[in-house]
Copies of this chain bind each other. A is one copy, B any other.
Amino acid sequence: MKDKIKARSVPFSQTRSRHASETAEDYVEAVMELIEEKGECRVLDLARYFNVSHVTVSRIVKRLYEEELLYTQPYKPVELTPKGNSLAKKVKERHAIVLDFLLELGVDKANAYIDSEGIEHHVGPSTLNAMKRFLKKR
């Protein structure tokens, strides 16, 4: 007979598409921040932001354009569509909460910044609420 393998409750939901979503979140968040900081967001701004080549950015921007998260035209700045704007707001909020949470937990600034970048994508609504409750109690 063969033992059933404890299948994951849910996770490991196709690594590739999960990563693609994370990229989308990172990009809309970056676009929003860059526009706030300097008025517009160019491909090269994103390349410097993420420390990748402009080619990589260009391809990803094209994909997110097709997903209607970003709007852009050749040689023009990158902008957020309404859909992208709403996602960006959500992501920025979540990111800020995770960062505050780590700081309040006692993590030093440098590490809190770094870890919050990675962690934010994996914080579901339930965990996010728990973090909010924790922050309120202080």
Contact = CB atoms under 8 A, between A and B. Distances in A.
Contacts of A11: 113-114, 117-118
A138 interface: no
A27 B110 CA distance: 29
Contact of A12 (B5, B9, B51): B51
Given A11-B118, A105-B134, 13 more contacts: A5-B49, A9-B113, A14-B51, A105-B127, A105-B130, A105-B131, A111-B124, A112-B126, A115-B122, A115-B123, A115-B127, A118-B121, A119-B122
Interface of A: 3, 5-15, 19, 23, 26, 34, 37-38, 45, 48-52, 102, 105-108, 110-115, 117-119, 121-124, 126-127, 130-131, 133-134
